[in-house]
Amino acid sequence: MQFYMPTELITGEHCVVENAAKLARYGKRCLIVTGGSAAARSGALQDAEEALRSQGISFTHYAGIEPNPTLASCQEGGRLAQEAGAEFVLGIGGGSPLDAAKAVSVFAANPGMTEEIFYSAKWDHAPLPIVLIGTTAGTGSEVTSVSVLTDSAGKKHSIHDRRVYAALAMGDARYTMTLPRAATLSTGIDAICHCIESYFSKKADPFSRLFSVQGVRLGLPVLRQVAEMGAEEQPTLQQREALYQASILGGMAINPTGTVFPHNVGYYLTEHYGIPHGFASATFLPELLKHVRQQAPELCERFYKACGTGEEELTALAKRVVPVRGIRLSEDEIRAALPRWENNGTVRNTVGTVTMEEIADMLRKEF
Amino acid sequence: MQFYMPTELITGEHCVVENAAKLARYGKRCLIVTGGSAAARSGALQDAEEALRSQGISFTHYAGIEPNPTLASCQEGGRLAQEAGAEFVLGIGGGSPLDAAKAVSVFAANPGMTEEIFYSAKWDHAPLPIVLIGTTAGTGSEVTSVSVLTDSAGKKHSIHDRRVYAALAMGDARYTMTLPRAATLSTGIDAICHCIESYFSKKADPFSRLFSVQGVRLGLPVLRQVAEMGAEEQPTLQQREALYQASILGGMAINPTGTVFPHNVGYYLTEHYGIPHGFASATFLPELLKHVRQQAPELCERFYKACGTGEEELTALAKRVVPVRGIRLSEDEIRAALPRWENNGTVRNTVGTVTMEEIADMLRKEF
């Protein structure tokens, strides 16, 4: 059994402003890293600025993080952090800005570092301290040592490195109240996928499974309610809070295990067809459930019993939340894509054995 | 919701020797801190020495930690660490040596520090890095920022300070195989008390309660089996492993919450009558269960449902494991002791309101 998650996590209404004094630990200047407008729309940016000002911390704001952020944007952020003399990096947003903030802090401390060295993890200097404020209930990036970035060839890669754990992470479910319905569903199902994929990783242990199960127990009933809501209806703060907690539990679960094949096969859909990350992973969730039913039936049974759910319910939910796609993959395209999953660590970590034929079959079936 | 537990935790058979390389992070010389003979009897000391030698780390062994360790012993350990030029402290044992190792690391970095300054937490220098190897399944000290020490007036005090979190903690249930029956029961019920007391703390949150519930679910059935064993029978490694995991979960639970009144009232029995810590706390567990049944019935219901147990079973177990005591407390003694619990933070953190009359009544009833 292994556990290592050194981030100080604080969640709750108004936690950012109330815990402003903690920010002073990390320095007098910071670079704020966000995407386009969600950080401000959520209210998180304003709270963060108020908290920084109350501590006399000056800041520069870099709002250049796109969805599925590129390494180039992170390099640019690193350059800005350096220029501004930032002593720490404050990421605000969903998975993209938070993952990017981690990479920005690496580049800020290692000017001129190449993409190759970044991915090799042979960094000369430790990253700047990282503070993260989550505004979606999905990624769990607040509590993981994972950063998923798109390289210069357009391919999503994740790094797992304990040096990119945030020093401090704060989450206030109020910030998720402004999420549009599709984003709530996509991030929500991402959190559920984290919990489930982690549970069925070869690296899972009693601790990680504790987080997985609790994440599903908390998040699943609420996500189902949200999926069934009319277009006009909005989740309550209490529902948002449950989804947020589930996303944190999902993050805690994947730290020691990583994800398994749905995430990695899903990357392909995001890279090539722009399908949002959560929907891309959820596309292959029913396939994972079928796989583990066949290859690890007892574990499967134990999981469903602990979570109070079953394959049918999870499959139905995944199908319900993922929007209909107008995509067709040709046999040639499938054949051309397969090599990326051979000897892929994420795919190999799935319990049982995942063959390339199995992946080809699921791509044929889904598209 | 708050979570902060920066210790790297590794458990499992042979984990100390297999993870020897991690020790090299903390320096080239260390002070090993243990009690009398249990560290060697358990096999942990030999494994630790092998691991240190494999990394070329030299060590000095201080075996001067008594049960319910005094601050004086920790000061002496600090002096020895300094003399030896230790760069880190490696504690091996149950709660006493582990808690003491934390204080030794503080004194080692702050020579000549007085008792008053130690308790004030106004330390000039950060403690030396701390590595802990647990040999009992009870304290959870491996993963807590708590150190309970006996001051020069003979009173047990706990400090809670994030600087005394271990950098690395390792646990191998094999080390607990040599524990005598009484120690297994006393430490085992201590772990269960940590889980339960934490659950009924005013500071409990969904995270801490997750650990509490899982600790009880894992540990309680096994502790009951052990309590019912004949004198000749020994718990299996699998049972030992479950108890060890429960103790870690108990530690994770009490980090944000602390314990509540059974622990603190129990200190009195340990100080004045030498009753082992676990038995002393368990003496007041039935009183806590009665208190929460009356003052927080819904929470109580939720707890029993989540854990799959009830007041009757827990009360019966507590009464079964605690040995018969030949102690009588006079009314005068009870009256004289009460002031220590007025305005005591631990007592006040119990859900509901604990009055001094309630404590006096439970002391009269138990003794």
C-alpha B322/C-alpha B324 separation (Å) is 7
Instruction: Give the pLDDT score at A325.
Output: 74
**pLDDT digit string, tens, across residues A84-127:** 999 999 999 999 999 999 999 999 999 999 999 999 999 999 99
A3: tokens are 């556990």
Instruction: Give the pLDDT score at B156.
Output: 87
* CB spacing of A5 vs B2 below 8 angstroms: no
Q: Which of A3, A9, A241, A305 to substitute to test the interface with B, most B CBs within 10 Å?
A: A3
Distance of CA A235 to the CA centre of its chain: 21
pLDDT of B366 strictly over 90: no
C-alpha A162/C-alpha A151 separation (Å) is 21
Give the percent of chain A with pLDDT over 90: 95
**Nearest CB to A9 within list B4, B9, B11:** B4
Instruction: Give the pLDDT score at B325.
Output: 74
Stated as kind and residue range, the H or E segment containing B221 is: helix B206-228
Distance from CA of B76 to the nearest CA of A (A): 31
Q: Which residues contact B59 (CB under 8 A, 6 or more apart)?
A: B29, B30, B31, B32, B49, B52, B90
CA distances from A229 to A222, A226, A235, A242, A309 (A): 11, 5, 8, 16, 20
Helix ranges (DSSP H) in A64-205: 71-83, 95-109, 115-120, 181-199
C-alpha B45/C-alpha B133 separation (Å) is 9
Vertex B89, ends B56 and B105: CA angle to 5°? Answer: 150
pLDDT of A326 strictly over 90: no
- CB atoms closer than 10 angstroms to residue A50: 12
Q: Which residues contact B365 (CB under 8 A, 6 or more apart)?
A: B287
Distance of CA A27 to the CA centre of its chain: 27
Instruction: Give the pLDDT score at A324.
Output: 78
* CB spacing of B8 vs A10 below 8 angstroms: no
Query: What are residue A304's DSSP bridge partners?
Result: none
**pLDDT digit string, tens, across residues B209-244:** 999 999 999 999 999 999 999 888 999 999 999 999
Distance from CA of B342 to the nearest CA of A (A): 30
**Nearest CB to A245 within list B6, B9, B206:** B206
B300 by Cβ neighbours in 10 Å (0-12 / 13-18 / 19+) ranks as: buried
Q: Which of A207, A218, A241, A302 to substitute to test the interface with B, most B CBs within 10 Å?
A: A207
C-alpha A3/C-alpha B229 separation (Å) is 33
SS3 (DSSP) at A3? strand
Judged by a CB distance cut-off of 8 A, whether residue A34 touches chain B is no
* CB spacing of A4 vs B8 below 8 angstroms: yes
A77: tokens are 């952020």
Instruction: Give the pLDDT score at B43.
Output: 97
Q: Do the Cβ atoms of A160 and A258 come closer than 8 Å?
A: yes
**pLDDT digit string, tens, across residues B306-328:** 999 999 999 999 999 998 778 88
Interface of A with B in 245-284 (CB under 8 A): 245
Instruction: Give the pLDDT score at A232.
Output: 86
**pLDDT digit string, tens, across residues A158-192:** 899 999 999 999 999 999 999 999 999 999 999 99
Interface of A with B in 213-242 (CB under 8 A): 214, 218
- CB atoms closer than 10 angstroms to residue A242: 24
Instruction: Give the pLDDT score at B324.
Output: 78
C-alpha B209/C-alpha B196 separation (Å) is 9
Judged by a CB distance cut-off of 8 A, whether residue A6 touches chain B is yes
What is the rounded average pLDDT of the residues B103-110? 98
Distance from CA of B302 to the nearest CA of A (A): 15
Written as one letter, the residue type at A195 is C
Question: What does pLDDT average to over chain B?
Answer: 96
Least confident of A46-50, A321-325, B134-138: A321-325
What is the rounded average pLDDT of the residues A195-203? 98
Stated as kind and residue range, the H or E segment containing A147 is: strand A146-150
**pLDDT digit string, tens, across residues B327-346:** 889 999 999 999 999 999 99
pLDDT of B27 strictly over 80: yes
Instruction: Give the pLDDT score at B48.
Output: 98
**pLDDT digit string, tens, across residues B250-259:** 999 999 999 9
**pLDDT digit string, tens, across residues B124-148:** 999 999 999 999 999 999 999 999 9
CA distances from A72 to A91, A110, B27 (A): 17, 14, 38
State the ipTM, two decimals. Answer: 0.92
Q: Do the Cβ atoms of A213 and A303 come closer than 8 Å?
A: yes
DSSP A59: E
Question: What does pLDDT average to over chain A?
Answer: 96
* CB spacing of B3 vs A6 below 8 angstroms: no
What is the rounded average pLDDT of the residues A351-356? 96
What is the rounded average pLDDT of the residues A143-162? 93
**Which chain B residues are closer than 8 Å to A5 by Cβ?**
3, 5-6
The closest of B81, B75, B96 to B141, measured between CA atoms, is: B96
**pLDDT digit string, tens, across residues B259-269:** 999 999 999 99
C-alpha B87/C-alpha B91 separation (Å) is 13
Instruction: Give the pLDDT score at A367.
Output: 84
pLDDT band of residue B157 (cuts 50, 70, 90) is confident
B331: tokens are 């009314």
The closest of B340, B295, B352, B287 to B314, measured between CA atoms, is: B287
**Nearest CB to B9 within list A2, A9, A12:** A2
DSSP string, B143-192: G-SEEEEE-TTS-EEEEE-GGGS-SEEEE-GGGGGG--HHHHHHHHHHHH
**Which chain B residues are closer than 8 Å to A255 by Cβ?**
none
C-alpha A318/C-alpha A193 separation (Å) is 9
Domains in chain B (CATH in brackets) are 8-175 (3.40.50.1970), 182-366 (1.20.1090.10)
